[in-house]
Structure 1
Amino acid sequence: MSASPHFIYHESPDYPGWMTWELNDPTRFNSLFGPFLLKVEGQMARVRMQPAHVHTNLSGRIHGGALLGFIDIALFAASRGFGLIEAGTAVTLDLSTQFIGAGSAESPLEAQVELLKETGRLLFLRGLIVQADSDERIAAFAGTIRKPSPKPSPIPSAIP
């Protein structure tokens, strides 16, 4: 796949076997969560973020809204890692999440994302959010992404 002007995607110098995936524009929403680490292992993509104090609620645990934001971004990072989309104009059609534990900002969160099915325009994915150092389950999710519309073919010029 070609490089996207919106994202930086390259091998991580600090984490062998992992890719770094982050927005090229630090003023956008995704930058509140990244940079991300991405590793594809067969049918599973692992997307990691290092949470910070800004991602916590008043109980000192990861805020549910921060988890939802991370899950949404992880769907796209995983899809990019699977080689199914380029970043930019794909959209989330639905996202279902079950919160099953409390996340800590003391260690990375990992989204373990599995591709269930790809159709011409849709990607169906599911996964778990775990605390990366312990595999403690924080949330389960399922989501659907609509892939970008293909660019229209240029109209051939009239034959002279």
Structure 2
Amino acid sequence: MTKGVSFAPSDEYPGWTDWIIGERGEFNRHVFGHMLSRLDDPATARIRIFPDQTHANNNGVVHGGAILALIDMAIYPATILITGNTDLNVVTVDLHTQFITPGGFSAPIDAVITLTQETGRMCFTRGTLLQDDKVIATFNALQRKIG
């Protein structure tokens, strides 16, 4: 497992795995301290965060920058879950996002991510951010394997 990344079955949320990405004080852990994950099927992972007022913009909804950070951070554990490769180390090289509707603070936000292709150097993913039944955003991402 990559340094600064740990995961274990969640005691609080049965069927989910708790993810901690980054060391205390680093961006990933500071922005979304508690992330959950699970496989919905062999090619699709679900990453969950719990937005709060620290993720708000001036309009009282989840900030677009927080949405982008969630997507960028969620594709990493999703790719690990789908591939089963716990030694995977990647960086995002391309991320296309379409914002659909604002996110709120009353419910978790799920990133539902599918690995569409994996090559020797790259991982191609696409996904949807959902809150309850609302689509918040859709995205396509490209990750480069490093190390």
Give 1:93-108 correspondences, 5 Å limit.
Answer: 93-108=93-108
Q: d(CA) in 2 for partners of 1:110 and 1:125?
A: 15
Q: Is the alpha carbon distance of 1:45 and 1:58 closer, same or farther for their aligned partners in structure 2, counting shifts above 3 Å? A: same
Give 1:1-160 correspondences, 5 Å limit.
Answer: 3-31=1-29, 32-42=31-41, 43-82=43-82, 83-84=84-85, 86=87, 89-131=89-131, 134-149=132-147
Instruction: From the two aligned structures, give the one with the greater strand fraction.
Output: 2
The residue type equivalent to 1:142 in the other structure is: N
Contact 1:95 1:142 in 2 (8 A): yes
Unaligned runs of 5+ in 2: none
Larger Rg: 1
The residue type equivalent to 1:86 in the other structure is: D
Contact 1:85 1:147 in 2 (8 A): no
The secondary structure found in structure 2 opposite 1:114 is strand
Q: d(CA) in 1 for partners of 2:86 and 2:91?
A: 11
Q: d(CA) in 2 for partners of 1:95 and 1:34?
A: 22
Q: d(CA) in 2 for partners of 1:4 and 1:13?
A: 23
RMSD: 1.4
Contact 1:79 1:85 in 2 (8 A): no
Contact 2:22 2:28 in 1 (8 A): no
The residue type equivalent to 2:7 in the other structure is: Y
Tell me the matched-pair count: 144
Unaligned runs of 5+ in 1: 150-160
Q: d(CA) in 2 for partners of 1:136 and 1:128?
A: 10
Q: Identify the residue that residue 156 of structure 1 maps to in structure 2.
A: none
The secondary structure found in structure 1 opposite 2:37 is strand
**What TM-score, normalized by structure 2, do the two folds share?**
0.92
Structure 1 runs (4+) greater than 2 angstroms displaced: 84-87
Q: d(CA) in 2 for partners of 1:118 and 1:5?
A: 23
1:33 to partner: Cα distance: 1.1
Percentage identity across paired residues of the two chains: 38
Q: d(CA) in 2 for partners of 1:144 and 1:85?
A: 18
Contact 2:2 2:86 in 1 (8 A): no
